[in-house]
């Protein structure tokens, strides 16, 4: 399992930083965002330290599919599958990616008028 010493998400996976786990399995986990921008703001995160979308897609497209399936399950668990939700991937500086470990944001629970996560 590739893991980076100073990566926040790798450290959460190793229980070195606390987080509220909503799901965990062999390949990924989901947590509440520490700084939510909507009533429901979850992060869906592969355990392997892929830095960005291209890396995960090139290496393991089935894992990308798994992350989307999990997002679907989480939207149902949070009862926002009917009201609507947004999945966001911030990639690179112009998108404001803060943590260089691939992740998806699941935003929901209000009208999502703003453009970023």
Q: Which residues are known catalytic residues?
A: 103
Closer CB to ligand AMP, 58 or 98, in the complex: 98
**Pick from 92, 76, 101, 116: which is nearest to 11 by CA?**
101
Binding piece for ligand AMP, criterion CB under 6 A, among 56-64, 68-76, 78-86, 95-103: 95-103
3-state helix, strand, coil in the chain (%, to 5): 30, 20, 50
CB of 76 to ligand AMP, least distance (A): 22
Closer CB to ligand AMP, 54 or 82, in the complex: 54
Integer Cα distance of 2 and 41 in angstroms:
26
Binding piece for ligand AMP, criterion CB under 6 A, among 53-61, 66-74, 90-98, 107-115: 90-98
* Inter-residue contact 36 to 110 (CB < 8 Å): no
* Inter-residue contact 38 to 2 (CB < 8 Å): no
The contact pattern for ligand AMP, residues 7-36, with x = CB under 6 A and - = no contact, is -x--------x-x-----------x-xxx-
Looking at 6-89, list the stretches that DSSP marks H as alpha helix, in order from N- to C-terminal side: 8-13, 53-59, 61-77
Task: Enumerate binding residues for ligand AMP (CB under 6 A).
Answer: 8, 17, 19, 31, 33-35, 43, 90, 96-99
């Amino acid at each position: 399992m590739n893991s980076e010493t100073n990566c926040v998400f790798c450290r959460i996976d190793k229980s070195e930083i606390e987080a509220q786990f909503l799901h965990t399995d062999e390949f990924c986990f989901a947590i509440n965002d520490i700084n939510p921008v909507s009533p429901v703001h979850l992060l869906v995160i592969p355990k392997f330290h892929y830095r960005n979308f291209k890396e995960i897609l090139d290496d393991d497209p089935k894992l990308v599919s798994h992350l989307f399936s999990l997002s679907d399950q989480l939207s149902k668990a949070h009862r926002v599958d009917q009201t609507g939700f947004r999945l966001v991937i911030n990639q690179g500086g112009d998108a404001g990616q803060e943590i260089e470990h691939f992740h998806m944001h699941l935003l929901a629970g209000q009208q999502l008028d703003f453009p970023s996560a």
